[in-house]
Amino acid sequence: MMECVLARWHPGIGDPTWQGWATVLVYLGTAILAFHASRTGFPAATRGRERAFWILTLLLLAGLAVNKQLDLQSALTAAGRCMAKVQGWYGQRRLVQMGFLLGLAGLAVIFLAILLRLLRGSWSRSALPVLGLVFVCTFVLMRAVGFHHADRLLGMPVWGLRTNTALEWAGPGLISLGALRVLRLWRP
């Protein structure tokens, strides 16, 4: 199995372009802001929950920064292809892909429900970064689909950036604005 995966995926830099490296910096910069936001003096009633939210956000963004250049989802895709061929269900892979995506979408809905409960009483501070997380999760699901026509659309330019990059930066941008607001460094 490992030979099959390594024949299709090689560890290395996933997106060596300036936009790829800038995206890593966007994720890392936002993760740093999330870290500082987690240390803010929140009201006693919501302090623990809000800190947990910001730490969870920090971990998610740090993981996305690492994944952006290691391209680990491609290793997962390669493993799925290899498994499908070895087990003989490669012809029905679309059904499995749809099940996988529906499972991811279900997990995203559960995650959002947990966030809504976790952050009750703090929406004035949390709405913007939660919207940013929704953008991030939606983008990750879009990329997980990997349909060829969607890939062509994501490669089109927007304001001098690939559509892919502009969409990928939207979520961390909203999270950053929310963190800056919590840190009282930005007021709308």
DSSP the chain: -HHHHHHH---S-S--SHHHHHHHHHHHHHHHHHHHHHTS---TTTHHHHHHHHHHHHHHHHHHHHHHHH-HHHHHHHHHHHHHHHHT-GGGHHHHHHHHHHHHHHHHHHHHHHHHHHTTT-HHHHHHHHHHHHHHHHHHHHHHH--HHHHHHHTSEETTEEHHHHHHHHHHHHHHHHHHHHTTS---
Comparison of pLDDT for 172 and 76, the residue scoring more: 172
Q: Which residue has the tokens 């302090």?
A: 47
Structure tokens at 36: 């500082």
Q: Tokens at residue 91, please? A: 């012809």
Domain boundaries, the chain: 2-6+15-182
User: Which pLDDT tens digit goes with each residue over 3-12?
Assistant: 888 787 777 7
pLDDT at 80: 83
- Summarised one tens digit per residue, pLDDT across range 109-144 is 898 888 888 898 898 899 999 999 988 888 877 776
Percentage of the chain exceeding pLDDT 70? 89
Convert the pLDDT of each residue in 8-35 to its tens digit: 777 777 778 888 899 999 999 999 999 9
